[in-house]
């Protein structure tokens, strides 16, 4: 059996005996073969001394058992790392930030406590996956959609607490924004309900989120202040229809007007789904070195009329628009059709603009029919098809054991699209990085674009070390330009947290103050999102082999 750092063997042995008494012997996993299942399959430190590995794992079945576990951990100062389903691959999976922590595996807490069709909400436990809730709704024929990330095997609560996102409409696509009410177990085993849940017999816990007084829910996301054991989510009343279309603009500089209008329509609610900016020219530029150089020079320089004219001529001669955006509409048929017509009118003044009608669907559709659409995730259907990206292919000839995403948030402007392209591409070139995929700016959140630079993770330690080095440099480069990550893998949480450094890291210092007050022994998820407990804050010994 492995032992956690900072706990004597005798104390830990006693804690394990008490864990077994509290939740049953079969739910306390101490054999290395079992504990190894909690390794992060996408770890960029796989097989190295820095890899994060837990000591043991415990799997309680109820809030009461979570409370019992926490009282034991608090008594013996045992570090504990809660995971919902442990499927947060790319962001650390089920492996702790602090090596040797006890994984608190909540996937046995998998009850769907309520789904209310008329008021469109659900109340669930952490072990409920998107598939579970989807199946529940399908089996009962409820007229509701979920909003799911890809893949859909993760926990609603876990994904929401990590600020995960999906693909339908506001507010459902931002999974933390779509939550309403929490139940949280604190480090000492006490239990709190937020919002209207603090009112005994509350009838609006999942409908009115603010409750009375300060709203605390944000403390429990991307943090380590408590263990969420119940959470409410707003669900999307199934829409009648969907349609999508793309707007294509011909010139290099048209990106500014394309994004300006897109942003205006997002802020006014006409567009309420995610949209991105792509360049259909990307392939052509890649195959044409002279034009690629002009593109880089145009991005690099302020006065680039000659290059932009040449680029526009090149695009025109290839009958290829320089930029395009895809827009999606959900709702009554009349409204989605009218919205698309309205959107087209907003762009009509751009010389050479083209519009392309894409999918048009009327609901309800069967599961099988939805799986035949361009992307089932856009219709609240969970799947795992995203894993096909890791296979060997022309796109990814080496195959991979996983991936990481570097994902800074940038403004929703054409200028930011060009600037982020320039800065990140240059940094990657200088750092010798090669990425498998670079996703263009995409509005995962309502008022910003997120740039996703994807790295493969392999079982080659040297390659992974190089990836980590590049990733860490990109964090600094982005921060120098005012862009921070919205979410990251556990390996980079310190790197990403520390660049939020206004006023000598005042935000992090406040988070640390809260940590010391709420979890004075520092036992919950030490180091998560850069928040270390007092006894480890300045220590070089943050667990055996910790990065």
Give CA–CA dist 394/404, Å, rounded. Answer: 20
Give CA–CA dist 382/132, Å, rounded. Answer: 10
Q: Give buried/exposed letters for 177-198 (b at 16+ CB in 10 A, else e).
A: bbbbbbbbbbbbbebebbbbbe
User: Is there binding between residue 128 and another protein (CB under 8 A)?
Assistant: yes
Closest approach of another protein to the CB of residue 150, in Å: 11
User: Is there binding between residue 459 and another protein (CB under 8 A)?
Assistant: no
**46 to each of 39, 189, 462, 490, how far by Cα in Å?**
9, 34, 11, 13
Residues in CB range of 27: below 8 A, 6 or more apart: 58, 59, 60, 61, 108
Which parts of 25-44 interact with another protein (CB under 8 A)?
A: 26-27, 29, 31, 33-34, 37, 41
User: Is there binding between residue 383 and another protein (CB under 8 A)?
Assistant: yes
Closest approach of another protein to the CB of residue 305, in Å: 46
Residue 81 parent element (H or E): strand 80-83
Give CA–CA dist 201/70, Å, rounded. Answer: 26
Question: Which residue, 1 or 507, is less far from another protein as judged by CB?
Answer: 1
Give CA–CA dist 507/256, Å, rounded. Answer: 33
What is the DSSP code string of 226-270? Answer: -EEEEEEEE-EEPPSEEEEEEEEE-STTHHHHHHHHHHHHHHTTS
Question: Which residue, 319 or 388, is less far from another protein as judged by CB?
Answer: 388
Which of 75, 76, 72 is CA-nearest to residue 6?
76
Question: Which residue, 1 or 113, is less far from another protein as judged by CB?
Answer: 113
Helix axes 254-267, 333-347, angle to 10 degrees: 140
User: Is there binding between residue 367 and another protein (CB under 8 A)?
Assistant: yes
**Catalytic site residue from 3, 136, 208, 486:** 486
User: Is there binding between residue 518 and another protein (CB under 8 A)?
Assistant: no
Q: SS3 of 443, please?
A: coil
**Catalytic site residue from 294, 468, 487, 528:** 487
**Catalytic site residue from 91, 134, 444, 529:** 91
Residues in CB range of 174: below 8 A, 6 or more apart: 163, 165, 444, 445, 446
**453 to each of 425, 438, 442, how far by Cα in Å?**
10, 5, 12
Closest approach of another protein to the CB of residue 94, in Å: 10
Task: Quote the DSSP letter at residue 223.
Answer: S
Question: Which residue, 159 or 450, is less far from another protein as judged by CB?
Answer: 159
Which of 183, 182, 186 is CA-nearest to residue 71?
186
User: DSSP H helical segments within 327-437, as ranges?
Assistant: 333-347, 367-371, 414-431
Give CA–CA dist 249/252, Å, rounded. Answer: 9
CB atoms near residue 85 (< 10 Å): 23
Say if CB 163 and CB 176 are below 8 A apart: yes
Closest approach of another protein to the CB of residue 387, in Å: 4
Closest approach of another protein to the CB of residue 173, in Å: 20
> From the list 195, 382, 405, 433, which residue makes contact with another protein (rule: CB under 8 A)?
382
Which parts of 75-114 interact with another protein (CB under 8 A)?
A: 85, 87, 89, 107-108, 110-114
Question: Which residue, 84 or 443, is less far from another protein as judged by CB?
Answer: 84
Catalytic residue flag (residue 486): yes
User: Is there binding between residue 392 and another protein (CB under 8 A)?
Assistant: yes
User: Which range in 242-250, 281-289, 376-384, 515-523 contacts another protein by CB under 8 A?
Assistant: 376-384
User: Is there binding between residue 153 and another protein (CB under 8 A)?
Assistant: yes
> From the list 21, 199, 384, 510, which residue makes contact with another protein (rule: CB under 8 A)?
384
Which of 386, 457, 469, 391 is CA-nearest to residue 40?
457
N-to-C CA span, the chain: 22
How far does Cα 136 stand from its chain's mean position? 24
Closest approach of another protein to the CB of residue 388, in Å: 5
Question: Which residue, 392 or 429, is less far from another protein as judged by CB?
Answer: 392
Question: Which residue, 85 or 467, is less far from another protein as judged by CB?
Answer: 85
Question: Which residue, 43 or 129, is less far from another protein as judged by CB?
Answer: 129
Question: Which residue, 372 or 503, is less far from another protein as judged by CB?
Answer: 372
Q: Which residues pair with 64 in a beta bridge?
A: none
User: Is there binding between residue 468 and another protein (CB under 8 A)?
Assistant: no
Q: Where are the beta strands (DSSP E) in 235-379?
A: 236-237, 241-249, 323-331, 354-362
Catalytic residue flag (residue 487): yes
CB atoms near residue 487 (< 10 Å): 20
User: Which range in 183-191, 236-244, 384-392, 528-536 contacts another protein by CB under 8 A?
Assistant: 384-392
Closest approach of another protein to the CB of residue 64, in Å: 15
Question: Which residue, 331 or 390, is less far from another protein as judged by CB?
Answer: 390
Q: SS3 of 439, please?
A: strand
User: Which range in 21-29, 415-423, 444-452, 500-508 contacts another protein by CB under 8 A?
Assistant: 21-29
Query: In the stretch 295-334, what mask flags binding to another protein with x, by CB under 8 A?
Result: ----------------------------------------
User: Is there binding between residue 127 and another protein (CB under 8 A)?
Assistant: yes
Query: In the stretch 58-77, what mask flags binding to another protein with x, by CB under 8 A?
Result: -x------------------
Q: Which residues are known to be catalytic?
A: 91, 486-487
**Interface ranges with another protein (CB under 8 A):** 26-27, 29, 31, 33-34, 37, 41, 59, 85, 87, 89, 107-108, 110-114, 127-129, 131-132, 135-136, 151-153, 367, 371, 382-385, 387-388, 390-393, 397, 399
């Amino acid at each position: 059996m492995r032992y956690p750092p900072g706990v004597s063997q005798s104390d830990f042995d006693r804690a394990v005996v008490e864990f077994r008494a509290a939740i049953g012997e079969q739910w306390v996993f101490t054999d290395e073969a079992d504990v190894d299942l909690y390794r992060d399959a996408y770890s960029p430190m796989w097989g190295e001394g820095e890899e994060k590995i837990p000591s043991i794992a415990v799997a309680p079945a109820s809030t009461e058992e979570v409370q019992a576990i926490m009282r034991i951990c608090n008594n013996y100062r045992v570090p504990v790392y809660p995971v919902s389903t442990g499927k947060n691959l790319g962001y650390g999976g089920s492996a702790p930030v602090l090596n040797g922590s006890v994984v608190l595996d909540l996937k046995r807490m998998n009850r769907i406590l309520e789904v209310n069709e008329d008021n469109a909400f659900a109340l669930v436990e952490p072990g409920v996956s998107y598939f579970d809730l989807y199946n529940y709704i399908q089996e009962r024929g409820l007229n509701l959609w979920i909003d799911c990330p890809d893949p859909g095997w993760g926990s609603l609560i876990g994904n929401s607490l990590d600020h995960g996102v999906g693909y339908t409409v506001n507010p459902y696509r931002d999974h933390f924004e779509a939550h309403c009410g929490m139940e949280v177990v604190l480090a000492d085993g006490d239990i709190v309900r937020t919002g209207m849940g603090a009112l005994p017999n509350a009838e609006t816990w999942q409908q009115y989120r603010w409750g009375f007084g300060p709203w605390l829910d944000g403390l429990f996301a991307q943090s380590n202040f408590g263990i969420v054991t119940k959470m409410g989510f707003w669900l999307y009343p199934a829409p009648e229809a969907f349609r999508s279309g793309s707007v294509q603009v011909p010139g290099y500089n048209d990106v500014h007007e394309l994004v300006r209008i897109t942003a205006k329509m997002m802020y006014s609610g006409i567009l309420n789904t995610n949209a991105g900016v792509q360049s259909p020219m990307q392939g052509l530029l890649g195959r044409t070195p002279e034009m690629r150089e002009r593109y880089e020079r145009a991005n690099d320089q302020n006065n680039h009329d000659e290059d932009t004219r040449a680029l526009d001529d090149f695009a025109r001669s290839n009958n290829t628009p320089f930029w395009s955006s895809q827009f999606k509409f959900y709702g009554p048929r009349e409204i989605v059709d009218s919205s698309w017509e309205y959107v087209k009118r907003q762009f009509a003044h751009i010389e050479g603009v083209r519009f392309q009608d894409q999918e048009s669907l009327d609901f309800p559709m069967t599961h099988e029919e939805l799986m035949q659409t361009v992307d089932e995730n856009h219709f609240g259907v969970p799947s795992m098809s995203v894993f096909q990206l890791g296979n060997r292919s022309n796109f990814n000839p080496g195959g991979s054991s996983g991936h990481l995403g570097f994902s800074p948030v940038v403004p929703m402007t054409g200028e930011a699209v060009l600037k982020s392209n320039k800065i990140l591409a240059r940094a990657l070139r200088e750092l010798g990085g090669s990425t498998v995929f670079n996703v263009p700016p995409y509005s995962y959140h309502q008022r910003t674009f997120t740039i996703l630079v994807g790295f493969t993770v392999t079982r080659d330690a040297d390659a992974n070390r190089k990836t980590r080095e590049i990733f860490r440099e990109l964090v600094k480069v982005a921060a120098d330009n005012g862009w921070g990550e919205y979410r990251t893998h556990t390996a980079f949480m310190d790197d990403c947290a520390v660049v939020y450094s206004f006023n000598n890291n005042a935000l992090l210092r406040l988070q640390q103050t809260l940590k010391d007050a709420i979890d004075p022994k520092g036992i919950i998820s030490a180091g998560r999102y850069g928040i270390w407990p007092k006894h480890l804050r300045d220590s070089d010994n943050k667990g055996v082999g910790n990065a």
